[in-house]
Amino acid sequence: MTIAKVRLERKRDSWMCEHSLGDLAHFVVRSLARLHESYTYGHGISAGDWIFLHHLWRREGISQHELSRQLGVCDAATAAALRRIEEMSLICRRVNPRDRRETLTFLTNQARRLMDTILLPAAADIQSLAICDFSDEEVALLCSLLLRVVANMTELMGRSNRGPSCKQVLS
């Protein structure tokens, strides 16, 4: 048996363990989302809303389609989320002056205040709680490993027609 086959078998065996990578990732995401909502739900912000607001805070003035692409979310799900966030007066949309066929999405001043006073401090608190007993080296290693998983999955999704269809994501 070659070294590559041994490694592949070892990796396959690891999926059979009690805590698979998918199970652990799902648990972490759900736990972070629940904790985040305990901080923000009183302000009408769900964990799903946070994902879009945080991304727009880092890079606003992008189209709905580009936002979907960057977050790995189907256009229909992004449209529904942006509609909900727009109804809360947290985003506004403007026609792109360089391409009038495109609408760009921006945070409102109300959203920026909410980000600065509630959402970003909550996210920092939650992250601190999640890694409270980690050393700086462990945090760096965790981030490095997760970024490698993301890169592997991004490559895989790119090779397989860009991942699941919108219908699969929404069901």
Tell the residue number behind the tokens 């007993």, with chain if given.
133
The domain locations on the chain are: 23-130, 135-171
CA distance 37 to 18: 28
- Its CATH class, for the domain covering 23-130, is mainly alpha
Predicted local distance difference test score (pLDDT) of residue 161? 45
Per-residue pLDDT of the chain (171 residues; tens, 9 = 90+): 566 555 656 665 555 556 788 889 999 999 999 999 998 888 899 988 999 999 999 999 999 999 999 998 899 999 999 999 999 999 999 999 999 999 999 999 999 999 999 999 999 999 999 999 999 999 999 999 999 998 998 888 776 544 444 444 433
Predicted local distance difference test score (pLDDT) of residue 158? 76
Contact 43, 57 (CB under 8 A): no
Predicted local distance difference test score (pLDDT) of residue 80? 95
Predicted local distance difference test score (pLDDT) of residue 16? 56
Strands (E), 27-117: 62-63, 91-96, 99-107
Q: Which DSSP string corresponds to 66-78?
A: HHHHHHT--HHHH
Contact 76, 170 (CB under 8 A): yes
Residues belonging to the chain: 171
Q: What is the pTM of this model?
A: 0.75
- Kindly tell me the sign of the dihedral angle through the C-alpha atoms of 71, 83, 123, 57: positive
Predicted local distance difference test score (pLDDT) of residue 171? 35
Predicted local distance difference test score (pLDDT) of residue 15? 53
Nearest to 171 by CA among 79, 86, 74, 50: 74
Q: Give the max Cα distance, the chain.
A: 62
* Beta-sheet strand order (sheet of 62-63): 62-63, 99-107, 91-96
CA distance 149 to 145: 6
